[in-house]
Amino acid sequence: MEDIMGIFMIIIIVIGCCVVLPLLIVWMTNKRKRHEIDKKTEILKTLLEKNPDIDPVEVMNKLNMSQDSSKKSLKQSLLEKLLNGCICMLVGLVIFLTHHYGMIFLGSKAIGIVGGGVLTAVGVAFIIYYCVSKNVLRNELEAEERQLKEQQISE
């Protein structure tokens, strides 16, 4: 009877992680996008009611441009990947080395070594991603920097 309950709990956990969680993420993302669209529509309605001679296309372009300025630049996102990689790698190495040398705090030595190894591998993957992306996207990064300098000069 306990074996059946254990299997039942594993099935529930797997279904929750593999089905419910992705559906929840998609639902929340779509809800956020819909809220942004509704907010922009409300702003446009209010502006058109107060000033009927305003060009709606121009207002929508300005609303979209303000949204684009809040996005992260390519360089910022790459540096974020580098930071995440360094943090994961350092935490993974600390967990790995402490468990390897006998300071066990995650249950057993094997769990600590495997967990630390996985975190270290994820950190190394982030760092490799940063290095490869930096080389592949060199032209885009330079163009983005030039565009940013031109915007600063024009302001």
CB burial string 62-93: b at 16+ within 10 A, e below = ebeeeeeeeeeebeeebeebbebbeebbebbe
Minimum mean pLDDT among 2-16, 37-51, 62-76: which range? 62-76
What's the full length of the chain, in residues?
Answer: 155
In this prediction, residue 89 has a pLDDT band, given cuts at 50, 70 and 90, of: very high
Q: Where are the domains of the chain?
A: 1-71, 72-155
pTM beyond cutoff 0.75: no
DSSP summary character for residue 107: S
Which residues fall within 8 angstroms of residue 122, CB to CB, at 6 or more apart? 85, 88, 89, 92
Which DSSP string do the residues of 64-88 spell out, in sequence order? Answer: HHHHHHHSPPHHHHHHHHHHHHHHH
pLDDT at 136: 87
In this prediction, residue 31 has a pLDDT band, given cuts at 50, 70 and 90, of: very high
Residue 154: how many CB atoms within 10 A of its CB? 6
For the ranges 20-24, 50-54, 95-99, 149-153, the one whose mean pLDDT is highest: 95-99
